[in-house]
Structure 1
Amino acid sequence: MVALSSAIALTLPMAVAAGPGKHERPSFEQLDINGDGKITQDEMKARGEARFKEADANGDGMLSQDELAAKGSERATKHAAKMIERHDTDGDGQLSQDEMKAGMKGKKGHDRGAKMFEKADTDGDGGISKAEFDAMKEKMGERHGKKHGKKEQ
């Protein structure tokens, strides 16, 4: 248990340096700095420190909002490039609405909007009343609070 806690604590700087949301997961080879076929806690710590230093653009040992935002923007740019690469069927370097829809078919969340609408339309009349809207908003707020360890007040 102590080893697991330590491993989690040592990877925290990597997550912080990557900014909010998901971060790129390093490969085994990237973590096995000395190439001996094993990842040690020291190697995990070194990787986290390196990522932190990379994000610390001004070298002051602190991550500012701008530095965190820059790291997040870097990830978003990479993600956008991958999306275009995967879904740009006509090769124009842009995604049309049709290309986006085609690229999302079969993916988790594809019909998310329709499903959310159906859940909100509790009386099934094909429209969302103010009361249904407010109820869904409250339900989503409660779920969001639980997800992040917060309680609505």
Structure 2
Amino acid sequence: MTLRMALIPAAALAAALSAAATAAPRGEPVMEGDVTKEDMLERAAERFAGFDANGDGYLSLDEVASAGEERRARMAERMFERQDENGDGFVSLEELEAEAEARFDRADKNGDGILTEEERAEAREGMRKRFKDRRG
């Protein structure tokens, strides 16, 4: 497996984990009601732990190789690169949480530390629009 092919599933996982407050991957229930940043970070940490097979606190490409989706490859690769702040080829929980907090803060329009259903719907719609715009 080439590094590029290995990055795709890892990036897809990183993207899915960082979007925990505003959306849920297929097959998982969306968080309902108002969501605090703590709720979102707790969910992201639980999902992270589920993929951290060796429990070392880092996601390697091997650990997430089966999590990718081909159709989301370009977006996922960009997300992985953005989350891997130190460029070591791994996404740590701290790196993931930093990205998740930034996403949460962008969606929390009134800055009260809680994402309402309306704020979450607006964030999802904004994400869909950006993806659509990128595809042309």
Shared fold (TM-score, shorter chain, > 0.5): no
Structure with the larger strand share: 2
Give the structure, 1 or 2, with the largest relative contact order (CA under 8 Å, sep 6 or more): 2
Q: State TM-score, norm by structure 2.
A: 0.42
Instruction: Give the number of the structure whose alpha-carbon radius of gyration is greater.
Output: 1
Q: State TM-score, norm by structure 1.
A: 0.38
